[in-house]
Amino acid sequence: MCGMGGWLDYQLDMHQKINDLKNMQRTLDKRGPDDGGIFVQEHCGLVHSRLAIVDVENGKQPVSYGNYTIVYNGELYNTNEMKAELMELGYRFNSKTDTEVVLLAYIAWGVSSFKKLNGIYAFAIYNDKTEELVLVRDCFGVKPLYYYEYEQGIVFGSLIKTLFASTIVKPIVTKESLKQIFLLGPGKIPGSGVYKDVKEILPGQYMVINPYKIYHNFYYQLEAKKHNETVEETIEHIRRLVIDSIERQLPTDIGYGTMLSGGLDSSIVSKVASVHCVTLPTYYIRYQDNEKYFKRTLFQPNQDEDFVHVMVEDMESDFHAITLNEEQLFDSLYEAMKARDLPGMADIDSSFYLFCKNISVLEKVVLSGECADEIFGGYPWYYNEEYMWKDTFPWMDSIEFRKRLLMDTVLDDEEMFVQKLYQETINNVSYLESDGYEQRRHRELFYLNIYWFMQTLLDRCDRMSMANGLEVRVPFCDKRLVEYCYNIPVEMKFLNGDEKALLKEAMKDILPDEIVHRKKSPYPKTWSPKYYEMLVHRIREVMNEDGLFTYLVNKEVIEEMIMDDKEIMWYGQLMRKPQVLAYLLQVDMWLKEYQVMIEY
């Protein structure tokens, strides 16, 4: 994995912008601490920072072939198949990297090549003869790619801070930006970078920029198809896909580990991976004294520790438990915000930031169970009637509270804003004419989760890990697996009324029974009252300061929330009252750190 960026301007000589290009590259150093490169032509500059994993000696970027040059961030999981196909056409390779495969595939097949790719990636290819630039992002948005388009050109990069380093992009936010921060946050509108005129290439999309025109197209979108397999055939198909996806994502040139929570998803990934190494390193996150304060909830029925040890003993893995305390969580809220360039998931981010930081001392690559809940129906809104039929984003029960949290003069039409985004998303869902009412709703929930909820989690996964020079791979986000699951009938997905029933059935013979039958539990949080007290103390300090934050939020409502015993479901099961306070602190940090300017 790496970081990449660039600047195309048809009225500038980019040789004169070399210092700005170097500054852009420096913003990517943490994503790619092993190497870096800059490519400069008259109107185009490309920058790259590399985390060396495959073919360390010959994998330096940017890579050029004839008139074409690529900067690439990602991993391709069907490299061998594509390489064989290209070699039959007469192409020869100078390295073992997937970067070279992606570039030669584009030269051979043009934009049609993107449909052939299976992996997680964001890349840019420049043709110095035609002066055409192409930007491409993977099917489900695992890897980031932001851009800022202006009259004579475009600036782009893996991070928003990369765009700021060009000096032409400013940290300006609009009323819509504030709506995203306060009404959707930590989520955001697909394709939006929140800052004014900063956008993202959408999942499955490419963008072409040449001297004559600029246009976007989708090379991949989820499509409804008939499912013709029996339950038994479906279970076997899932088993093959899951195992193949995990095995394809195991590095061959370096060692690797897995993130292990004791849940179904990470246990499957770890068990399959363990077969392919002598002793698999596994990494587990825990919180100091959490056993003293844990409270059972509908969303978090148990803790992970006992289940983790079941898997460790089953695999005889090289186990590493990383323990975090309250001060570390609190202090790292700032670094986590900077890694996103925006307020994020509060201590859900900062804890993962610290987790990755500790792992990166020992590993460059780990595999995670992320994304299985989205595709196999692990969240309550897939099966709980109270959430399933909500005519809005099912993970958001907090619109009324979010509205009250803001000063009356800040925003307007809040419900209309959220409802419009929800409806626009639903309008893009692909159905079959034969789909019944419940099947249609499950397609909608699947689509909402893939392109909204999962995007927030993938952002977190990428930013927190790559800010520490660690690559986290997500086998459950394999496009073959995602599109297969999208088309499984709902009555099959919840066999015997069980969440993630098909995945359990497919993989139960390789896992201990305790793991297979464990109730889903989300990413763990600290339950320490000390952490909450630290948040309360700091938010009260902030509310007494004369800053931009205090002109946006209603202090009385924040104080009411602190004193009230009622819980808040801010963002599904992941963010409750402590996380809301931490999120608000991240908003204040963000406003100050980026010297944000508000434009109404």
Q: Which active-site residues does the annotation give?
A: 2
- Distance of alpha carbon 359 from alpha carbon 348, whole angstroms: 17
Neighbours of 538 (CB within 10 A): 17
- Distance of alpha carbon 8 from alpha carbon 133, whole angstroms: 8
Q: Locate tokens 């500790």: which residue?
A: 358
Q: Locate tokens 């928003």: which residue?
A: 160
Name beta bridge partners: 63. Answer: 70
Q: Which residues 6+ apart lie within 8 Å of 386 measured at CB?
A: none
- Distance of alpha carbon 497 from alpha carbon 441, whole angstroms: 17
Tokens of 245: 């996806």
11 dihedral zone (left: phi>0; alpha: psi -120 to 50; beta): alpha
Q: 146-150 and 198-200: which strand pairing?
A: antiparallel
CA torsion angle 89 95 97 103 (round to 10): -50
What Rg, from alpha-carbon coordinates, does the chain have?
A: 23
Q: 365-367 and 471-473: which strand pairing?
A: parallel
- Distance of alpha carbon 246 from alpha carbon 70, whole angstroms: 27
Residues 168-177: contacts with CB under 8 Å, at least 24 apart: 169/195, 169/197, 169/198, 170/196, 170/597, 171/195, 171/594, 171/595, 171/596, 171/597, 172/196, 172/596, 172/597, 172/598, 172/599, 173/596, 173/597, 173/598, 173/599, 174/598, 174/599, 174/600, 175/411, 175/600
Do 237 and 229 touch, CB atoms closer than 8 A?
yes
Give the helix/strand (H/E) hosting 63: strand 63-65
Q: Which residues 6+ apart lie within 8 Å of 508 measured at CB?
A: 516
Name beta bridge partners: 571. Answer: 573, 575
Tokens of 107: 């030269």
Q: Which residues 6+ apart lie within 8 Å of 182 measured at CB?
A: 402, 405, 406, 410, 411, 552
- Distance of alpha carbon 62 from alpha carbon 2, whole angstroms: 11
Do 248 and 77 touch, CB atoms closer than 8 A?
yes
**CB-hemisphere CA count at 13 Å for 50?**
21
Do 364 and 471 touch, CB atoms closer than 8 A?
yes
Tokens of 22: 């170097």
